[in-house]
Amino acid sequence: MNELDLGALLVSRVCHDLISPVAAVSNGLEILADERDADMRAHAMRLIEHSVGQAKARLLFARLAFGAMGSAGTEIELREAGEVAAEFFKTGKAKLDWQAPEFAVDKEIIRVLLNVAAMGADCIPRGGSLTVTAEQEKNIFSAAVVAKGVKAKLAADIKDGLALKIPREDLTGRTIAPFVTALLAKRIGCEIAYATEAECVRFDLRFERKS
């Protein structure tokens, strides 16, 4: 599997995430077209508004987490990333607590951080807390993503993706994100470590800017 195939699989993953809210918008429009009952029409409008917001949040998140962002400069504010993450996780079971301070970091670091945050949410499918912290000391940026919830677990295939141990031809829509995240982290010299405890999975990121 070459880089084009990796890109195609990543696009497929993003499209999969958008299918549900877009389909809900379509259903809402069908109700509006056929329904005359005021309550049902109001329900359809709420469904459309909610689904459009969900689709927008997922697109903005994908744009930061997977997109090149070539026109946005070399750095992105952590505050902006936190706002995008807050909208993305708002309708999920993981409750985000974004504690990163307000400073700008390399856009590649933002991509790694957001993808790791999404992995953290996947570790607590029954719900729980997802805490993101970050700090900058001279030329070293470090961050932590802590997922706490009932039966929190980092799946074996996600571990393999982060370790780049999955053959490219065996990648799936589920494992493509950790694999690509690990490739990006390796390219920019960002270390990703993780640890698991009872009902907790912690990821630690460390990036040293070369002077």
Number of domains in the chain: 1
Question: What pLDDT, on a 0 to 100 scale, did the predictor assign at position 1?
Answer: 62
- Return all residues near 208 (Cβ < 8 A) that are at least 6 apart: 139, 140, 141, 189
Give dist(CA 108, CA 115) in Å, integer: 11
Report pTM. Answer: 0.89
Question: What pLDDT, on a 0 to 100 scale, did the predictor assign at position 50?
Answer: 93
Cβ proximity of 180 and 198 under 8 Å: no
Question: What pLDDT, on a 0 to 100 scale, did the predictor assign at position 182?
Answer: 95
- Give 28-65 pLDDT, tens digit per residue: 999 999 888 999 999 999 999 999 999 999 999 999 99
The domain spanning residue 116 has which CATH number? Answer: 3.30.565.10
- Give 64-112 pLDDT, tens digit per residue: 998 764 444 588 999 999 999 999 999 889 999 999 988 899 999 999 9
Question: What pLDDT, on a 0 to 100 scale, did the predictor assign at position 74?
Answer: 82
Q: Which domain holds residue 86?
A: 3-208
- Give 118-169 pLDDT, tens digit per residue: 999 999 999 999 999 999 988 899 999 999 999 999 999 999 999 999 998 8
C-alpha distances in angstroms, 125 versus 59, 94, 129, 151, 160? 21, 8, 11, 9, 19
Give dist(CA 3, CA 62) in Å, integer: 18
Residue 12: which pLDDT band, with cuts at 50, 70 and 90? Answer: confident
Longest CA–CA span in the chain (Å) reads 66
Residue 211: which pLDDT band, with cuts at 50, 70 and 90? Answer: low
Question: What pLDDT, on a 0 to 100 scale, did the predictor assign at position 70?
Answer: 45
Mean pLDDT value across the chain: 91
Question: In the predicted model, is pLDDT for residue 3 greater than 80?
Answer: no
Q: In the numeric block, which tokens belong to residue 2?
A: 């070459």
